[in-house]
Homo-oligomer: A and B are copies of this chain.
Amino acid sequence: MSSSLLDRDGLRERIAAELAAFLAERAAELAEISAELDPVATTIRSFVLNGGKRLRPAFGYWGWRGAGGTATSDAAVVRALAALELVHACALIHDDVMDGSATRRGTASVHEQFADLHRSSALAGSPTGFGRAAAILIGDLTLVWADEMLAASGLPFQAVERARPAYDAMRTEVMAGQFLDVLAQVQPSVSATRALRVARYKSAKYTVERPLHVGGLLHGCSVALLDCYSEYGIPVGEAFQLRDDLLGVYGDPGVTGKPAGDDLREGKRTALIALTLEYGGAADVALVERLLGDPLLDAAGVAALREAIETSGARRRVETLIAERLEQGVSALEVGHVEPEAAAMLAELAEMSTVRRA
C-alpha cells in the first residue's frame, strides 16, 4: 500500500505523535507502580509505534472528513481515532498467542519476546508459559488503554457518546469474528461462504465500516451517511481481507513482515483455500489436505501448495471476488452523501488496499 496516501493531511505522523504522548503517560503510571514493569511499557511502545499502517484511524479520519470535518481541526479527533490503533494492538497480540505465531511486523511476536526475556534472564518455570501470560496481560492493557484514550481525547462528551455505539459494536464484532475464525479453523471443512462471513466480522466491519462510522459520528452525521459508509465499507473490507489471504500465500515477506507461506503453515481456512478445495482437481485437493497446516512445511511444500491453488483456479476466482467488491464499494460513494474530497480519498484507499501486490 502506498504510504503516501495514508500520510495525507500528515495523518500518520499525527497519529503516531498522539500515541507516543499517550503511551508516555501510561509508561509513567506503570513506572510509579514498579520498575519491573519497564519491559511491559517498552514492549507496548515499540509494538504500537514501530509498525502498522494505521488503517483504522485513517478510515476513521476520512469518515470524519466525509461528514464535514475539516483538515485543520484540533488534535482531539486524531487522538480519539488513534485509540482504534490500541484496540488493534490487543487484537494482534492476542491473535498471535492464539495462533502461536512467532513473528509479527517482521520481528518476534510479543509472547516470543517475553519467552526470550525469560530465557535470557534464566528465570524459573516455562518460558512459553511466561511469554503467553505476559502477552495476554499486555493485550488486556492496550485494550483498556484504548478506551481511556478515546474517553480522554478532549472531544466534547456528546461527540464521544454519539460515536460509542459504533465503537462498542466494533469491539464486540472483532472478538466475535475472531471466535468464528478460531471455530472455522477446527472444522473438518470450510466453505467459501463461511470464510467470507468470518472476513466480514473480523475484517470488513472492524477495519473499514466501523471506523468510518466512529469518525462520522464523532463529527455528527446523518443515518444516510452511515448507510453509505456500510455500503462502501463492507465490500471494500472483504476485498481487503481477500487480498490479505492472497498475500498470506503469495506475499513477499519483506512486505508482509511474516515468513513466506506462513498462512499455509498455520493452516488458515481462508476463502482462497475453500475455493481450492471446492474447484480443484483430485490431486490438488489431496495435496492441500496433506500439506496445509504442517508447521514444518518447507519452501518446496510452500511452492507445491501455491501451484495447487493456482491450477485449481482459486487464485483467479479470488481476484474476481476482489474486483467485484471493489467496484460495488466504490460505486456506493457516487450517491453524493460523502464530502467530495473524502469520497475521492475513500475511492483511492479502496483501490490501494485491495490492489494486486504480489
Contacts and interface: CB of A to CB of B under 8 A. Distances in A.
Nearest to A118: B186
Interface in A18-35: 26, 29-30, 33-34
Assembly of this chain: how many copies? 2
Nearest to A123: B186
Given A98-B133, A125-B185, A179-B40, A201 B33 contact: yes
Nearest to A186: B123
Main SS at interface, chain A? helix
Given A161-B157, A183-B36, A175 B137 contact: yes
Interface string A54-72: 0000000000000000000
Interface in A254-277: none
Contacts of A182: 130, 133-134, 137
Interface in A173-230: 173, 175-180, 182-183, 185-188, 197, 201
A98 B138 CA distance: 12
A144 B168 contact: yes
A132 interface: yes
Contacts of A97: 132, 136
Contact of A136 (B33, B94, B157, B201): B94
A187 B36 CA distance: 12
Most chain B Cβ neighbours within 10 Å, of A130, A140, A169: A140
Interface residues of A, number: 55
Contacts of A10: none
B140 A168 contact: no
A178 B137 contact: yes
A143 interface: yes
Contacts of A151: 161, 164
A143 B143 contact: yes
A188 B141 contact: no
A36 B197 CA distance: 12
Given A97-B136, A178-B137, A124 B171 contact: no
Given A94-B140, A157-B161, 11 more contacts: A29-B169, A30-B176, A34-B176, A37-B180, A40-B179, A97-B136, A98-B132, A98-B136, A125-B186, A133-B182, A157-B157
28 contacts: A26-B172, A29-B169, A33-B201, A34-B176, A34-B197, A36-B180, A90-B140, A94-B140, A97-B132, A98-B132, A98-B133, A98-B137, A100-B129, A124-B185, A124-B186, A125-B186, A133-B182, A136-B136, A137-B178, A137-B179, A140-B175, A141-B172, A144-B172, A144-B175, A145-B172, A147-B147, A151-B161, A157-B157
For the complex of A and B, 8 pairs with smallest distance between CB atoms: A98-B133, A123-B186, A144-B171, A133-B182, A125-B186, A141-B175, A124-B186, A148-B168
